[in-house]
Amino acid sequence: GSAPDDSSDGGDGSTTAASDFLPCIVSDAGGFDDKSFNQLSFEGVQQAADELGTDFKDVESNSENDYAPNIDSLVSEGCDVIVTVGFALAAATKEAAAANPDIKFVLIDDAADGGDDGQTFDGKADQPNIKPLLYDTAQAAFLAGYAAADYSKTGVVGTYGGQPYPTVTIFMDGFKQGVDYYNQENSKDIKVVGWDGKNGSFTGGFEANEKATNTAKQLIDQDADVLLPVGGPIYQGALTAIADSGKDIAMLGVDADLFETDPNTQDVVMTSVLKNMKVSTYEAVMSAESDADNFDFTPYVGTLENDGVGIAPFHNFDGKVNPDLADKLDTIKQGIIDGSIPVNSYLNQ
Amino acid sequence: MSTPTSEASIPLHETPLAGVTTVVDKKAAVILSVMTAGLLLVVAFFPQDGDTTFRLAVPSDFAQLPRVTVPSTLTAWVLIIVCLLCAGWSIVLYRRKLQTPLWLMVIYSLGWMIGFLAWAASGGTIPVVGLLSGSLALAVPLVFGALGGVLGERSGVVNIAIDGQLLAGAFAAAMIGSALNSTWAGLVAAMVAGTLVALILGLFAITYLVDQVIVGVVLNVLVIGLTSFMFTQVLAPNAETLNSPPRFTAVVIPVLGDIPLIGPIFFRQSAVVYLLYIAVAVVTWSLYRTRWGLRVRAVGEHPTAADTVGINVIRTRYRTILIAGAVAGMGGAFYTLVSVPQFNREMTGGAGYIALAAVIFGKWDPIRATLAALLFGFASNLQGVLSVIGSPVPSEFMLMLPYVVTIFAVAGLVGRSRPPAADGIPYRKG
Amino acid sequence: MSSAVGTEQHPPTEPDEAPDRNRWRETFREIASGGVTVGFLAVLLAIVVGSVLIAATDEQVRATAGYIGARPGDFFQATWDAVWGAYTALFRGSVYNTNAVSFDQGIRPLTETAKFAAPLIVAGLGVGLAFRAGMFNIGGRGQMLMAGAAAGWVGYQFDLPAVLHLSLALVAAMIAGALWAGIAGLLKARTGAHEVIVTIMLNYVAFYLVFFALSKQSLLQAPNSFNPKSLPVKDSAQLPELLGDQYNLHLGFVIALVAVAFAWWLLERSSLGFRIRAVGLNPEAARAAGINVGRVYVLVMLIAGALVGLAGANQVLGTVTSGITVDLDAGIGFDAITVALLGRSRPLGILAAGILFGAFKAGGFAMQASQDIPVDIVLVVQSLIVLFLAAPPLIRTIFRLPAKEAK
Amino acid sequence: MKLVLRDITKRFGTLVANDAISLTVEPGEIHALLGENGAGKSTLMNVLYGLYQADAGEIELDGVVQHFSGPGDAIAAGIGMVHQHFMLIPVFTVAENVMLGNESTGFAGTLDVDEARQRVQKISDQFGFHVNPDALVEDLPVGVQQRVEIIKALSRDAQVLVLDEPTAVLTPQETDELMQIMRELKESGKAIVFITHKLREVREVADKITVIRLGKVVGEADPKASNAELASLMVGRPVELTVHKDPMKPGPDTLDVERLRVIDAAGRVHVDDVSFTIRAGEILAVAGVQGNGQTELTEALLGLQDRVEGSIRLHGEELVGRSVRHILDAGVGFIPEDRQTEGLVGAFTIAENLMLNRSHGEPFVRHGTLQLERLEGFAKEKLEEYDVRAPGITTLAGQLSGGNQQKVVVARELSRDVSLLVAAQPTRGVDVGSIEFIHKQIVAGRDAGMAVLVVSTELDEVVSLADRIMVLYRGRVVGIVPADTPRDVLGLMMTGERPEGAIA
Ligand SMILES: Nc1ncnc2c1ncn2[C@@H]1O[C@H](COP(=O)(O)OP(=O)(O)OP(=O)(O)O)[C@@H](O)[C@H]1O
Ligand SMILES: Nc1ncnc2c1ncn2[C@@H]1O[C@H](COP(=O)(O)OP(=O)(O)OP(=O)(O)O)[C@@H](O)[C@H]1O
Ligand SMILES: [Mg+2]
Ligand SMILES: [Mg+2]
């Protein structure tokens, strides 16, 4: 190849930053390539950094041992705002926040609430300089559940998760409620397999592996023709299971619109339950830069109302789903927003 | 004399023995009783009303076997009685100083398992085909790994690095498979990767006489480190070019694939699984029926003796573990070329150690080791199937099942097993 | 190690030239006899390999490699930057932070090293002790989980005066770890079940047990929480910080040192240790000498489990006091094996190895944060060090050293 | 085929096992190689066989200088060897063992076992070996195993046949048969090297005798030379071939064994219906071919066997079912058959080995702590007393020579107060000097009022030590006879024949 004129260029965005504002992000054990909340939050920070023309730091954790040290090392790297992803980082974030009151912390998927004894909940983060980002994905999953029930021909729809974490089961809860709602509305009896509200099927981890494939197969063996895999890359398992089954089975994506993020899914993904972490993280970082002094630390809860959560378009399935489904979903969405249709999740209990 | 002395297996005129009697240990009896008691308790304390359906066919069969529907609790009780009879009989046999015969064990296991299923899957449908074919799928990497382990140890080299070989195989298969967009290229790459790990094992364990367990354990760590590092640095950034290999899809074997029950379980699998059948057959045959096998076993039992008849111990061991590495590597390919078309860090999840367990559980015999691996696959798949149906058992306990089963099996059924005499002992010439 | 996987005792076919059952000692004598040079070169070699990996995967380096013909200077500059950057970061993160404003700040990494070393040392002792009895304890993870859960529960459940509360939590951890490891010992002694299999399986069982408990309000899960996490440990049960607030170093390190002393006494001076070593080196002779081999197996696993249990307690009561989680073992259970191997299963060796690996761990974070190099590289370097140290002849061949007469 | 070894030198580290040894063996000649343990006989033959590479010297066959890079070459050149420690794979059948290394194979390397069977059968018939090709080697008595070794060599039609201490494991009758076979082989023109330290045998078959001491040839001897001459040549000084012991003064019954039955995990009955008593101050020697239950008998006495029926009473106390430790503490001393696996911990120091079976309390342990200085004193003392030739008490036992290792074991057992000493093969693989010493110690113990059970496959040893002799065959007592029972009678009993009135 030919040498570039200025060889000092290149590296991981180590360009002389336009502003000295430094946003940083720590993943949980899932890592930034989890095609899920780590990745989306990462992209949020990345986008913000690009627009601000600044550099940014990202570190991955492999175990709970790493959270505190990772945050510390970012602190010593001189970050202005540190995004910590996942409830697992809550404790470490609290400590770091206490130790560094002048750094802003954005904590995703946990309220950092409960006080030191873990019992006194005041609806605010325990540290003034932590902004929690929470998502009531049950609302969106509810819509997906309704859609799935409406689409299902076998009368069975299935869901499975990585680990029974609340951030996972909240999807399955909403999904089941959506199906139940469909059943009572249309006096049908669509069955949900893989989640009964308390127990369900879990692959035991958040890796795309044989267990993921196998769990999906097991749901298909129960005649499910719509699958909702919850937990980052484990949807890969559903993909292969569907391919092997040779049946016509639809899949629902979570977090991002799979149709966009993973083209391989375009033929099978009916819709996706959106959890707009990218946007909200992006906004949080941006405002942390723009109005650094009066940054709003009140917890953000993504809902259908503020489009923090939602469901993606049907894309290729436009023709396959009932023509009136889209409108039906809109009315239900309104119902959920105005509270006439209750959706329960750990966030609103 | 309390026990009869009978002239048995060994022709006495050739042995220096006073006689041979049969020694029975009470393990069988104890295990059967304990297991029965366990089942009895759960069924008694958590009775299930409702029926359980066993579905023997898959829609794609043209010869549709009927669904069998039975009342859960009643069936469970009936089969518990069967189990009680078996257990009782084996106790009687023990009192009479007689071994519990295999057929009794088989009947018992079937009875127990079906009884348990009838109870646990109450109100649901057990897709028997799915249950068994899934078990096979989960067992594939384990079987490959176990075969590799058996080969190595039969030649006197303990191979704890199976996990490393699986992981390296998975990684190579994903990377090369994607780069060349060819499943077979990926498979070959996996075998090469497994062989490379074996080569390092050989270099340290055979040539430099480093303790084989040390090398094995450390190699696993090394491979985890390497693959994870490369994953983050190379694969993840270029996922579409380097981490999205093509898949081996299921191929239906003409006639065989249509046999009810058997067909969909065994003969509607991917090429890798058919390779597995071949591997098991070839390894078993060559280990016991060929010159190569005879020499491998000789080297593993008594290297000096092998040496004195002109067999090159070092070369034999190297050759064997390299082949073993290739076999284990194939298992690794299953992760990224069949299960899911992408590599993830530490994606074997310690399967190599399970394979190791299968080797010991299988008493260093390819067939037995294969069965051990299959048992493990069955246990883990059962877990999944039941939690899908929504069994009364919490999912964590179902997830525990395979591991608990293995402990029981190793402690109860295998016990002290006799490895190849020179297993794990480096060979030095005078 | 007499019961390496698949190497149960068997009557040697040629008594006079019986295979040396004592391959641990032997290997380790090799390591020792390798001498300082070889040891140094082994570490050097491992670091070189690590550097190659770092350079090869560095974008800058690959970019410049593109036109190496045109401007080789760039390439070597880039390579140097990548490698030098990585290892200086490692140093900054593990020994002294040269960028720090004050000495107090600068020395912090060293305390972090000690913090990470503590659990590695105690767990390493647990694994090493088992090795000395010819047992391979791969069950560190499970033992840490059970112990951590026990310690954590005691830690948040009771209200007690500080010293008492802490000691109670520690004891609970040791008992839990001991019992969990004891299962493997008992099964080996009674049924001959191979401890390698049993301990591996118990890892998974422990994981799901703790997970289950953490997802049940009635058990370990924090009230009105939905996460698989317990309440935080009360201050009275926490391992006090040794150097005040700006450092995370806590009493765990001192406990580790005490454990080392204890393990040394046990192995070198106590009659139990004598029997342990005898069983590890030659079970038949031990049995013929009236030593109850089975009982030794059980006792060793109990003690080993208790030591590994301390590592669990160290995590829950010291390093991450925010409550029990399923990944409290943080891979220490497995790292402990490498530590024990590098430490030649000798208490002092394990102390040294633990500190070295602690440094790698602490440094890894800085390396990742400032240089974007995945911490996994540390695993690579660590395992290479153990491998190379175990094979001095290899090092000699590589560095063309005069081969020295072994035995 | 004519074999010439010229100035063969072989070193093991510092130890010179062979020092410029030269040897010539003519076809149709039986050449005896005589020398005590550790003299270097096996080493020399292993060099010839290509197992070891000589540091100097050359091997010549029919005038052609050979270069053996491994046994393969040696075998190809027509050299066959029956090793001192059998080179058979226990879990293989006879046929498999014989074919191993030159297997005949069918399609795709499939083994042709039938061919091997026939090969075995043919040779077996030719020399009347009566070996079943399909028997598992581990199930065969050593005598038969040795024939398998010979078949192995012959099946590769060896012209030079080396027999390394072949008679050590045979009954006198079997020995005679072997001699006969050797003569037949000699007739068929083979050159035979016959290694032994049993003078009688040498004089019987050897055409030539070469004596080796400390790795050097110390002379050629004539087959008609006297035992004493040969012996002194071998050891380098005059030696007493018999043990001096006063007539015994028997005390009360110490050990009382009744209807003992020992079964192993596989259900094999190794000892059956064995009853005997030993009085204080008496030595009962157990004769019999290796593998006829002696090992299991001694292990049963020590509580090392799991399935034992019948009763073992020491001073009336029942020992069956008691732990090894209890039995040791009850006053039983044990010199195990194989010092390296059961007697010593090779990687322990001499001192540590001296307290191996006393790690439970006084004098060497107090409050769970080792009393090192006390142990040191004790060890130094015993090193003196039992003249163990070692640099110091911290020398690792594994580095000692066999004789010295055995002395350590004897010292350990005799320095506890034991009322019963069980000594299995007390002088196997031990130099003559040590043999004398160990025998003296045993007799001293007996005179001090110990009951002693000696197990030995060396008839000489049995005869010279025993006050009474018990012969075992297939785990059963053939008879208990007085010490002065003639050898041929004993030999007959060792094959199971029971002469009338053979109970004393
Ligand atoms: N296989 C071996 N490897 C290393 N050294 C050995 C081996 N066999 C014997 N030696 C060494 O050779 C020396 C003599 O030991 P060995 O027991 O073989 O001879 P020995 O004839 O029994 O001795 P002694 O005449 O004193 O009884 C000892 O120093 C021993 O350590
Ligand atoms: N592999 C070895 N390594 C080190 N030393 C050895 C080895 N083999 C034999 N020796 C030593 O070399 C010397 C000669 O041993 P060798 O076995 O040839 O004696 P030998 O004459 O056969 O005695 P024996 O009658 O006991 O067989 C002994 O001291 C022995 O210990
Ligand atoms: Mg010798
Ligand atoms: Mg010899």
Token representation of residue D444: 């001293």
Residues near ligand 3 ion, CB 5 Å cutoff: D 37-38
- The structural domains of chain B, with segments of one domain joined by +, span 140-374
Of the pLDDT bands very low, low, confident and very high (cuts 50, 70, 90), residue B373 is very high
Of the pLDDT bands very low, low, confident and very high (cuts 50, 70, 90), residue A4 is low
Supply the residue whose CA is at minimum distance from atom 25 of ligand 2.
Answer: D37
- The rounded Cα A252 to chain-centroid distance in angstroms is 14
B288-296 own/partner pairs: CB under 8 Å, 24+ apart: B289/D110, B289/D111, B290/D105, B290/D108, B290/D109, B290/D110, B290/D111, B291/D103, B291/D105, B291/D109, B291/D111, B292/D109, B294/D96, B294/D99, B294/D100, B294/D103, B294/D111, B295/D100, B296/B151, B296/B154, B296/B155, B296/B320
- Residue D246 in any domain: the answer is no
Task: Identify which of D51, D140, D292 has the shortest CB distance to residue B430.
Answer: D51
In 3-state terms, what secondary structure has residue B316? Answer: helix
Q: Does D406 sit in the ligand 1 pocket, CB within 6 Å?
A: no
Of the pLDDT bands very low, low, confident and very high (cuts 50, 70, 90), residue D429 is confident
The 10 Å Cβ neighbour count of residue D223 is: 15
Does position B196 have pLDDT exceeding 80, yes or no?
yes
Report in angstroms the alpha-carbon separations of A65 from A88, C137, C378.
11, 22, 15
| Cα-to-centroid distance, D40 and ligand 4 (Å) | 7
pLDDT at position B415, please?
A: 56
With 0.90 as the threshold, say if the pTM is over it: no
pLDDT at position D161, please?
A: 93
Cα–Cα distance for residue pair B273/A60, rounded to 1 Å:
36
* Contact between residue A325 and residue A150 where contact means Cβ atoms under 8 Å apart: yes
Q: Do A213 and B137 touch (CB under 8 A)?
A: yes
Reported ipTM: 0.84
**Which of B245-254, B258-267, D235-244 is the most confident on average?**
B245-254
| Cα-to-centroid distance, D207 and ligand 2 (Å) | 25
Supply the residue whose CA is at minimum distance from atom 12 of ligand 1.
Answer: D401
Cβ contact C–B (≥3 pairs, < 8 Å): yes
C192-195 own/partner pairs: CB under 8 Å, 24+ apart: C192/B415, C192/B416, C192/B417, C192/C8, C193/B407, C193/B410, C193/B411, C193/B414, C193/B415, C194/B360, C194/B410, C194/B417, C194/C3, C194/C5, C195/C3, C195/C130, C195/C135, C195/C136, C195/C137, C195/C297, C195/C301
Report in angstroms the alpha-carbon separations of A5 from A2, A18, C71, C288, D210.
9, 21, 11, 80, 87
Residue type, A221: D
Among D206, D235, D264, where does a domain finish? D235
Residue D97 is part of which domain span?
3-235
Name the domain count of chain D: 2
Cα–Cα distance for residue pair B249/B272, rounded to 1 Å:
9
Q: Does D78 sit in the ligand 1 pocket, CB within 6 Å?
A: no
Token representation of residue B250: 């299921």
Cα–Cα distance for residue pair C303/C305, rounded to 1 Å:
5
Query: Which pLDDT tens digit goes with each residue over D448-462?
Result: 999 999 999 888 889
User: Which numbered atom of ligand 1 lies nearest the CA of D36?
Assistant: 21
Task: Kindly list the partner chains of chain B, i.e. chains with 3 or more CB atom pairs below 8 Å.
Answer: A, C, D
Q: Does D38 sit in the ligand 1 pocket, CB within 6 Å?
A: yes
Report in angstroms the alpha-carbon separations of B17 from B21, B86, B95, D212, D294.
11, 35, 25, 38, 11
Does position B10 have pLDDT exceeding 70, yes or no?
no
Query: Which pLDDT tens digit goes with each residue over D249-302?
Result: 889 999 999 999 999 887 889 999 999 999 999 999 999 887 889 999 999 999
pLDDT at position A340, please?
A: 93
CATH classification code of C115-372: 1.10.3470
Chain A positions touching B387 (Cβ under 8 A) are 199-202
Q: Does D15 sit in the ligand 2 pocket, CB within 6 Å?
A: yes
C279 lies within 8 A of chain D by CB: no
In 3-state terms, what secondary structure has residue C221? Answer: coil
| Cα-to-centroid distance, D402 and ligand 3 (Å) | 7
Report in angstroms the alpha-carbon separations of C92 from C98, C111, C242, C367.
6, 12, 21, 9
Q: Which of A153, A221, A225 to mutate to test the interface with B (most CBs of B within 10 A)?
A: A221
Query: Which pLDDT tens digit goes with each residue over D343-369?
Result: 999 999 999 999 999 998 888 999 999
User: Which numbered atom of ligand 2 lies nearest the CA of D35?
Assistant: 21
User: Which numbered atom of ligand 1 lies nearest the CA of D404?
Assistant: 26
**Helical axes B313-334 vs B128-154, angle rounded to 10°:** 160
Chain D positions touching B294 (Cβ under 8 A) are 96, 99-100, 103, 111
Backbone angles phi, psi at C364, to 5 degrees: -55, -40
Give the residue, D12 or B149, on which the prediction is more confident. Answer: B149
Token representation of residue A27: 């993943």
Please compute the mean of the pLDDT values over residues A111-133 and round it to a whole number: 79
DSSP letter at D358 equals G
Q: Does D402 sit in the ligand 1 pocket, CB within 6 Å?
A: yes
Please compute the mean of the pLDDT values over residues B169-179 and round it to a whole number: 97
pLDDT at position B250, please?
A: 86
- The structural domains of chain C, with segments of one domain joined by +, span 23-94+373-407, 115-372
Does position D172 have pLDDT exceeding 60, yes or no?
yes
Cα–Cα distance for residue pair D86/A15, rounded to 1 Å:
75
* Contact between residue B57 and residue D305 where contact means Cβ atoms under 8 Å apart: no
In 3-state terms, what secondary structure has residue A330? Answer: helix
Identify which of A110, B383, A196 has the alpha carbon closest to the alpha carbon of residue C208: B383
Q: Do C60 and A73 touch (CB under 8 A)?
A: no
Is cis: bond before D363, omega within 30 of 0? yes
Task: Kindly list the partner chains of chain A, i.e. chains with 3 or more CB atom pairs below 8 Å.
Answer: B, C
Does position A12 have pLDDT exceeding 70, yes or no?
no
Nearest CA in chain C to B351: C200
- Residue D436 in any domain: the answer is yes
Residues D217 and D316 placed together within one structural domain of the fold: no
Residue A136 host element (H or E): none
Backbone angles phi, psi at B361, to 5 degrees: -55, -35
Q: Which of B23, B285, B291 to mutate to test the interface with D (most CBs of D within 10 A)?
A: B291
Cα–Cα distance for residue pair A135/A149, rounded to 1 Å:
23
Q: Do A196 and B249 touch (CB under 8 A)?
A: no
Cα–Cα distance for residue pair B341/A240, rounded to 1 Å:
8
Please compute the mean of the pLDDT values over residues A92-113 and round it to a whole number: 90
Cα–Cα distance for residue pair B5/C349, rounded to 1 Å:
56
Within chain A, residue ranges assigned H as helices are: 37-52, 64-76, 90-99, 137-151, 166-185, 210-221, 235-245, 258-261, 277-290, 325-337
Cα–Cα distance for residue pair C365/C357, rounded to 1 Å:
13
**Can you list the positions of beta strands (E) in D53-110?**
56-61, 64-66, 79-82
Cα–Cα distance for residue pair B328/B351, rounded to 1 Å:
11
Q: Which residues of B touch D (CB under 8 A)?
A: 1-3, 5, 8, 10-11, 14-23, 286, 289-292, 294-295, 297-298, 301-302, 304-312, 421, 429-430
Cα angle: C20, vertex C25, C29; to 5 degrees = 110
Cα–Cα distance for residue pair A33/B243, rounded to 1 Å:
12
Cα–Cα distance for residue pair A133/A297, rounded to 1 Å:
10
Residues D276 and D370 placed together within one structural domain of the fold: yes
- Residue D243 in any domain: the answer is no
Query: Which pLDDT tens digit goes with each residue over B40-99?
Result: 998 898 888 888 888 887 766 666 677 888 888 899 999 999 999 999 998 998 888 887
Residue type, D313: R
Supply the residue whose CA is at minimum distance from atom 21 of ligand 1.
Answer: D38
Of the pLDDT bands very low, low, confident and very high (cuts 50, 70, 90), residue B16 is low
CA distance, residue C403 to nearest chain D CA (Å): 14
Q: Does C17 sit in the ligand 1 pocket, CB within 6 Å?
A: yes
- Residue D396 in any domain: the answer is yes
Please compute the mean of the pLDDT values over residues B213-225 and round it to a whole number: 91
Residue D216 host element (H or E): strand D216-221
CA distance, residue A244 to nearest chain C CA (Å): 30
Cα–Cα distance for residue pair B222/B164, rounded to 1 Å:
8
Task: Identify which of B127, B250, B390 has the shortest CB distance to residue A196.
Answer: B390
Does position B376 have pLDDT exceeding 90, yes or no?
no
Q: Do D359 and C274 touch (CB under 8 A)?
A: yes
- B residues 67-126 lying closer than 8 A (beta carbon) to A: 124-125
Does position B131 have pLDDT exceeding 80, yes or no?
yes
Give the residue, B227 or A37, on which the prediction is more confident. Answer: B227
CATH number at residue D485: 3.40.50.300
Q: Do B289 and D111 touch (CB under 8 A)?
A: yes
Strands D451-455 and D268-279: unpaired
Query: Which pLDDT tens digit goes with each residue over D318-334?
Result: 999 999 999 999 999 99
| Total count of residues recorded for chain D | 504
Cβ contact D–A (≥3 pairs, < 8 Å): no
Cα–Cα distance for residue pair D328/C289, rounded to 1 Å:
8
Chain D positions touching C284 (Cβ under 8 A) are 341-342
Cα–Cα distance for residue pair A10/A24, rounded to 1 Å:
20
Q: Does D293 sit in the ligand 1 pocket, CB within 6 Å?
A: no
Q: Do D141 and B16 touch (CB under 8 A)?
A: yes
Q: Do C201 and B407 touch (CB under 8 A)?
A: yes
Q: Is the dihedral of CA D103, D104, D106, D111 positive or negative?
A: negative
Supply the residue whose CA is at minimum distance from atom 25 of ligand 1.
Answer: D431
**Which of B377-381, D235-239, D379-383 is the most confident on average?**
D379-383
Within B160-270, residue ranges assigned H as helices are: 162-180, 183-202, 212-230, 239-242, 254-257, 262-266
Q: Do D269 and B21 touch (CB under 8 A)?
A: yes
Over chain C (407 residues), the average pLDDT of each successive run of 10 is 37 34 48 65 90 88 83 87 90 88 88 96 97 93 97 95 96 98 95 87 94 90 82 93 88 97 96 96 95 97 98 95 89 92 92 95 87 88 90 84 55
Question: How many CA atoms lie less than 13 Å away from B348 in the CB half-sphere?
Answer: 34
Residue type, C333: G
Please compute the mean of the pLDDT values over residues D49-71 and round it to a whole number: 91
Give the residue, D142 or A99, on which the prediction is more confident. Answer: A99
Among D180, D206, D235, where does a domain finish? D235
pLDDT at position C253, please?
A: 97
Identify which of D254, D256, D252, D253 has the alpha carbon closest to the alpha carbon of residue D312: D256
Question: Could you say which ligand is closest to the alpha carbon of residue C17?
Answer: 1
Of the pLDDT bands very low, low, confident and very high (cuts 50, 70, 90), residue B19 is confident
Cα–Cα distance for residue pair A290/B249, rounded to 1 Å:
53
The 10 Å Cβ neighbour count of residue D338 is: 21
A114 lies within 8 A of chain C by CB: yes
Look-up: residue for tokens 């064997």? B320
Q: Does D41 sit in the ligand 2 pocket, CB within 6 Å?
A: yes
